[in-house]
Amino acid sequence: MLYREEMKKPDGRSLTLYGRTPIRVEGEAPSPNREPLQANPHLRWHPLRGEWVAYASYRQGRTFMPPPEYNPLAPTRDPENPTELPQGEYQVAVFDNRFPSLAQAAHDPPREAVKTAPARGKCEVVVFTKDPSASLAALPLDHIELLMEVWGDRVALLGSDRCIKYVLPFENKGVEVGVTLHHPHGQIYAYPFVPPVPARMQAEELVHYRETGRPLLEEMIEGEVASGARILYLGEHAVSFVPPCARYPYEVWVAPRRAVPGFDRLTPAVRADLARALKTTLLKYDGLWQRPFPYLMAWYGAPADGHEHPESHLHAEFYPPYRSSDRLKYLAGTELAAGMFANDALPEEKARELINVEVVL
Amino acid sequence: MLYREEMKKPDGRSLTLYGRTPIRVEGEAPSPNREPLQANPHLRWHPLRGEWVAYASYRQGRTFMPPPEYNPLAPTRDPENPTELPQGEYQVAVFDNRFPSLAQAAHDPPREAVKTAPARGKCEVVVFTKDPSASLAALPLDHIELLMEVWGDRVALLGSDRCIKYVLPFENKGVEVGVTLHHPHGQIYAYPFVPPVPARMQAEELVHYRETGRPLLEEMIEGEVASGARILYLGEHAVSFVPPCARYPYEVWVAPRRAVPGFDRLTPAVRADLARALKTTLLKYDGLWQRPFPYLMAWYGAPADGHEHPESHLHAEFYPPYRSSDRLKYLAGTELAAGMFANDALPEEKARELINVEVVL
Instruction: Express each pLDDT in A48-85 by its tens digit.
Output: 999 999 999 764 444 545 566 789 999 998 888 899 99
Asked if residue B208 and residue B184 are part of one domain, the reply reads no
* CB contact burial B155-191 (16+ within 10 A = b; e otherwise): bebbbebeebbbbbbbbbbbeebbbebbbbbbbbbbb
| Contact criterion met (CB below 8 Å) for A7 and A29 | yes
Non-local (6+) Cβ contacts of A258 within 8 A are A218, A237, A270
At A34 the pLDDT is 79
* Chain A residues in contact with B189 (beta carbon < 8 A): 333-334, 338, 340
Asked if residue B203 and residue B177 are part of one domain, the reply reads no
Q: What angle do CA A119, A123, A127 make, to 5 degrees?
A: 175
> Rounded to whole angstroms, how far apart are CA atoms B221 and B211?
18
Instruction: For residue A24, tell me if it sits in a domain.
Output: yes
Torsion on CA atoms A238, A240, A244, A248, rounded to nearest 10: 140
Instruction: For residue B145, tell me if it sits in a domain.
Output: yes
Q: Per-residue pLDDT for B58 more than 90?
A: no
Band of the pLDDT at B68, cuts 50, 70, 90? low
Would you tell me how many other CB atoms lie within 10 Å of the CB of residue A27? 11
At A238 the pLDDT is 98
Does A183 participate in catalysis according to the annotation?
Answer: no
Band of the pLDDT at B275, cuts 50, 70, 90? very high
Q: Per-residue pLDDT for B291 more than 50?
A: yes
- Total structural domains in chain A? 2
User: What residues of B act catalytically?
Assistant: 185
What confidence tens digit (pLDDT) does each residue in B4-45 have? 999 999 999 999 999 999 999 988 899 988 788 778 999 999
List Cα–Cα distances, A55 to A109, A167, B227, B249, B273, in angstroms.
10, 19, 20, 10, 32
Q: Which residue of A has its CA nearest to B100?
A: A342
At A67 the pLDDT is 61
Q: What angle do CA A186, A192, A198 make, to 5 degrees?
A: 65
Asked if residue B214 and residue B90 are part of one domain, the reply reads no
Q: Which residue of A has its CA nearest to B221?
A: A113
Band of the pLDDT at B60, cuts 50, 70, 90? very low
Which ranges of A93-241 does DSSP label H, i.e. alpha helix? 141-159, 196-212, 216-227
Torsion on CA atoms B327, B332, B336, B341, rounded to nearest 10: -60
Instruction: For residue B204, tell me if it sits in a domain.
Output: yes
β-strand partners of A117: A43
Asked if residue B120 and residue B221 are part of one domain, the reply reads no
> Rounded to whole angstroms, how far apart are CA atoms B275 and B267?
12
Q: DSSP code of B257?
A: S
From B163, B195, B227, give the residue that closes a domain: B195
| Contact criterion met (CB below 8 Å) for B245 and A45 | yes
**For range A286-312, the mean pLDDT:** 97
> Rounded to whole angstroms, how far apart are CA atoms B123 and B95?
9
* Chain A residues in contact with B168 (beta carbon < 8 A): 333-334, 337-338
Read off φ and ψ for residue B339, nearest 5 degrees: 90, 5
At B249 the pLDDT is 97
**For range A84-98, the mean pLDDT:** 96
Q: Which residue of B has its CA nearest to A59?
A: B344
Length of chain B: 361
Instruction: For residue A315, tell me if it sits in a domain.
Output: yes
Q: Per-residue pLDDT for B64 more than 80?
A: no
Asked if residue A84 and residue A21 are part of one domain, the reply reads yes
CB contact under 8 A, A337 and B168: yes
| DSSP assignment string, A69-120 | T--TTSBPS-TTS--SB-SEE-SEEEEE-SS-SS-TT---PPP-SS-EEE--
| CA end-to-end span of chain A | 23
Asked if residue B125 and residue B64 are part of one domain, the reply reads yes
Asked if residue B210 and residue B347 are part of one domain, the reply reads yes
Min Cα separation B352/chain A (Å): 15
The residue range of the domain holding A228 is 197-355
Asked if residue A91 and residue A8 are part of one domain, the reply reads yes
From A171, A194, A217, give the residue that closes a domain: A194
At B67 the pLDDT is 60
* A166, A247, A337 member nearest B296 (Cβ): A337
Band of the pLDDT at A300, cuts 50, 70, 90? very high
List Cα–Cα distances, A242 to A23, A198, A246, A272, B195, in angstroms.
39, 19, 7, 21, 24
Asked if residue B141 and residue B33 are part of one domain, the reply reads yes
At A38 the pLDDT is 79
Asked if residue A213 and residue A103 are part of one domain, the reply reads no
At A66 the pLDDT is 53
At A64 the pLDDT is 43
At A70 the pLDDT is 86
> Rounded to whole angstroms, how far apart are CA atoms B218 and A308?
43
Test mutation, A166, A216, A344, A348, chain B, max B CBs within 10 A: A344
Instruction: For residue A99, tell me if it sits in a domain.
Output: yes
Half-sphere exposure (Cβ direction) of B9: Cα atoms closer than 13 Å: 25
Asked if residue B293 and residue B171 are part of one domain, the reply reads no
* Chain A residues in contact with B340 (beta carbon < 8 A): 51-54, 189, 191, 195-196
From A194, A223, A245, give the residue that closes a domain: A194
Pairing of strands B24-25, A51-55: unpaired
Q: Per-residue pLDDT for A88 more than 50?
A: yes
Instruction: For residue A361, tell me if it sits in a domain.
Output: no
* A204, A244, A330 member nearest B112 (Cβ): A244
Asked if residue A212 and residue A116 are part of one domain, the reply reads no
Instruction: For residue B38, tell me if it sits in a domain.
Output: yes
Please, what is the average pLDDT of chain A? 94
Q: Give the domain CATH number at B177.
A: 3.30.428.10
What are the percentages of helix, strand and coil residues in chain A, rounded to 5?
25, 25, 50
| CA end-to-end span of chain B | 23
What are the percentages of helix, strand and coil residues in chain B, rounded to 5?
25, 25, 50
Instruction: For residue A360, tell me if it sits in a domain.
Output: no
